[in-house]
Amino acid sequence: MEDIMGVTQFNKTAKNAMWRNAVWPESPDRTDSVFDRRAPFRKLRVMIDSELFDESTTSDMRGTPTKGLLLRSLLYNDLIELYRYTETPPASVEPIETGNPNIEPTYEGYAVLYPQKSNGLCPVTYALDDKNASYSGVMGDLYTAARDDATDKTYTGDDAADKRQADAIAVQVADDCIDADIYITTRPYLYAPSRRIAAGRAITICQPDDAISAVSLYLRAQREFIIPTGQKKFRYHLNRGMFYWVGMRELVPETWRWFSACVHHSSGTKDDKLMYLASAVMSRMQRSLELRDQIHIGINSKTNNDINDDVLGTFDNTLMTLMGAIDASARVAHYVLGMNPAKAHNAAWQRDWIKDVAKLDANLAAAVAKGSDNAHRLTVLTKLRNSIHGEAIKGITKQSGNKTETILGLPKDDEADILLSMDALGGRDAWGVKPLGANLNEVNPATLVDKLFEEVVILVNDLMRATPVEKLSHVQAANLTNMPPPPKDNHPTSDTFSEWNRLTIRWQLGF
């Protein structure tokens, strides 16, 4: 498993492709167009420890959401095949009538492990619904190896071996019986670096918080943009643009003050130029969130040359879009400071233009002062974006054991400057850079794009905060705030930018 800003990469391979009965999701309501889209991917198969799937919590969406409720709402989706794993038959659920007295009871929506038999077989029953009951089991050396793993110190006490064995059996149930894509669990031994299981296992094992971003990424790829309610048959949906727009406003809260001032000024002067400039920053930040998703979707696809091309092309577009947002914010500052409109094309935070800014507003210029974190953020983004004009960022398919992945190489002419700034912003490992030898590095594209976005979000907020938009004409500084406007009524679903919506979208995006 690999965690990247809360986004967990899927590990499932095609090992069971020959026999797996994948279910294609139902098409949406048909219209007259032959070009209507349908869900492009098979259903996601998930197993979760039963105690992590709490169905007792309810909400009217007026309070503060919880990650547990959000995860439950995501897993309720019809595009997901969900199994709750338990070692004790659920007391509140009636077993399915199978007509076979020789197998243990089966329960709808559950995978149930029964006591080990004398031959070492651990029986398992599972069912998605009351019409399809399955019986299987696990046995072999994997859970025995975990039981005998005396060097591991995850558990202590007389029952340590039993706990390691139980954790190992759970993984086998998820992978060998359920054929799950994701197993959501908090079992400590499954995250131990020295564990003697899961070597070569295809399943993705993840914590509940990580599962939120992973499952939501899958649903977003299926064009499902969900606002959770916690109820099984009732959920709210946003269209794609609004989902990312709310996410952008949550990640860049300075837009509320900054953009409001620009709108008030444009309205008062009857000149829309500043408002359109400011909206360009926001729309490009929104678009970059969508592109970030496309990179993660590509990385989680089966790697080949076409996928490499897709990831590289989308990464190039992400760099251009983020840089476009930064450049447009400089044009806004140029306007706000009353600088010569004829020289607006010179406005760019990383150019000599900043010297003219310093003469008018030292505080704004200091936001990107040489050696500052924001200067390093600009360096990384600018140098990576400039590769579009010269030596391209390279994409390589890397094979490591059973794992195939796409990796990137940094542009050689600017690599030293990029690495120096990365060192100042959390270190190369945080950016997904792995040294391979002298002057040779490989970069994980998922880690890189997430870290880059994290840093650019900080940069944009800082630039907006430092730009003195309150001095514009027709702007009342006392009315500017970094919070969305209050809802017009007391019904939570009518408030697009409610705390509920903003937080649940932030968590789904992996922030």
Whether residue 167 is found in the same domain as residue 277: no
Whether residue 210 is found in the same domain as residue 268: no
Provide the residue range defining the domain that includes 402: 254-482
How would you classify the pairing of strands 80-86 and 44-49?
A: parallel
pLDDT of residue 14: 43
> What mean pLDDT is predicted for residues 98-115?
90
Using the predicted structure, report yes or no on whether residue 195 has a pLDDT greater than 50: yes
pLDDT of residue 277: 97
pLDDT of residue 18: 39
> What mean pLDDT is predicted for residues 198-214?
82
Dihedrals φ, ψ of 189, to 5°? -65, -30
Confidence of residue 274 (pLDDT cuts 50, 70, 90): very high
Asked if the structure places residue 174 within a domain, the reply is: yes
Whether residue 311 is found in the same domain as residue 167: no
Whether residue 218 is found in the same domain as residue 283: no
Whether residue 390 is found in the same domain as residue 475: yes
Whether residue 267 is found in the same domain as residue 325: yes
Greater confidence (302 vs 492) lies with: 302
Note whether 128 and 111 are within 8 A (CB): no
Asked if the structure places residue 465 within a domain, the reply is: yes
Among 510, 359, 491, 496, smallest CA distance to 446 is for: 510
Using the predicted structure, report yes or no on whether residue 2 has a pLDDT greater than 70: no
> What mean pLDDT is predicted for residues 475-504?
82
Give the number of domains in the chain.
Answer: 2
Asked if the structure places residue 45 within a domain, the reply is: yes
Whether residue 216 is found in the same domain as residue 294: no
How much of the chain, in percent, has pLDDT values that exceed 90? 60
Using the predicted structure, report yes or no on whether residue 7 has a pLDDT greater than 60: no
Whether residue 431 is found in the same domain as residue 378: yes
Whether residue 194 is found in the same domain as residue 311: no
Asked if the structure places residue 116 within a domain, the reply is: yes
- Number of residues that this document lists for the chain: 511
Asked if the structure places residue 508 within a domain, the reply is: no
Whether residue 212 is found in the same domain as residue 153: yes
Greater confidence (55 vs 429) lies with: 429
> What mean pLDDT is predicted for residues 95-124?
90
Q: Is 27 exposed, middle or buried (0-12, 13-18, 19+ CB in 10 A)?
A: exposed
Which range, 131-145, 200-214, 215-229, 325-339, is most confident? 325-339
Whether residue 300 is found in the same domain as residue 222: no
Greater confidence (59 vs 213) lies with: 213
Using the predicted structure, report yes or no on whether residue 403 has a pLDDT greater than 70: no
pLDDT of residue 379: 97
E-strand spans in 256-312? none
Asked if the structure places residue 403 within a domain, the reply is: yes
Note whether 289 and 497 are within 8 A (CB): no
Using the predicted structure, report yes or no on whether residue 270 has a pLDDT greater than 80: yes
Task: Give pLDDT tens digits for 25-38.
Answer: 666 555 556 666 67
Give the gyration radius of the chain's Cα atoms. Answer: 26
**Strand-by-strand arrangement of the 394-400 sheet:** 394-400, 403-409, 440-443, 433-437
Interhelix angle 273-299/305-336, rounded to 10 degrees, is: 160
Asked if the structure places residue 203 within a domain, the reply is: yes
Among 329, 419, 315, 415, smallest CA distance to 376 is for: 419
pLDDT of residue 508: 97
Greater confidence (142 vs 247) lies with: 247
Mean pLDDT of the chain: 87
Task: Give pLDDT tens digits for 65-93.
Answer: 899 999 999 999 989 999 999 999 998 89
* Separation in Å, CA 370 to CA 28, 58, 329, 346, 388: 53, 51, 19, 19, 24
Task: Give pLDDT tens digits for 464-474.
Answer: 999 999 999 99
Instruction: Determine the straight-line distance between the first and last CA of the chain, rounded to whole angstroms.
Output: 18
pLDDT of residue 89: 93
Whether residue 124 is found in the same domain as residue 203: yes
pLDDT of residue 311: 85
Asked if the structure places residue 34 within a domain, the reply is: no
